[in-house]
Amino acid sequence: MNRLGLAAALTGFAAVALGAFGAHGLSLDGDALDWWNKATLYGLVHAAAALAISISVQAGLLRRAGWAFVLGAVIFSGCLYAMALGAPRWLGAVVPLGGVSFLAGWALAAVSAVRR
């Protein structure tokens, strides 16, 4: 089983489903709407990147990059979705950890490309 591919696909599914829910099922304004949209965008972009990595035959750093993207999407997007739905704003302090995970994933992907 390709666990990274499964995690990437589920992350992408969640981003699309939650994006549609936000557009059609929620009434959000201001910061909450901005958080929801950003969570959806970043989640979907990084799910796609992780899925692309999951179908490559390369292991090592590139595979770790894919996992960093999935982890970042869960932390970054998850906290923003929660805050948009009324969770405490202190979760905003956790959001950058997801961003760091995204950056780590891109850095790992770059190092992997240089080593090829």
Q: Is the pLDDT of residue 63 over 80?
A: yes
Q: Is the pLDDT of residue 72 over 80?
A: yes
Q: Is the pLDDT of residue 58 over 90?
A: no
pLDDT at 116: 78
pTM for this prediction: 0.94
Residue 107: domain span = 3-115
pLDDT at 24: 94
Q: 92 with 83: CB under 8 angstroms?
A: yes
Whole-number Å distance between alpha carbons of 99 and 116: 26
- Per cent of the chain over pLDDT 70 is 100
Q: 21 with 77: CB under 8 angstroms?
A: no
Q: How many domains would you assign to the chain?
A: 1
For residue 114, what is the enclosing H or E element? helix 95-115
Q: Is the pLDDT of residue 20 over 80?
A: yes
pLDDT at 62: 93
Whole-number Å distance between alpha carbons of 31 and 24: 18
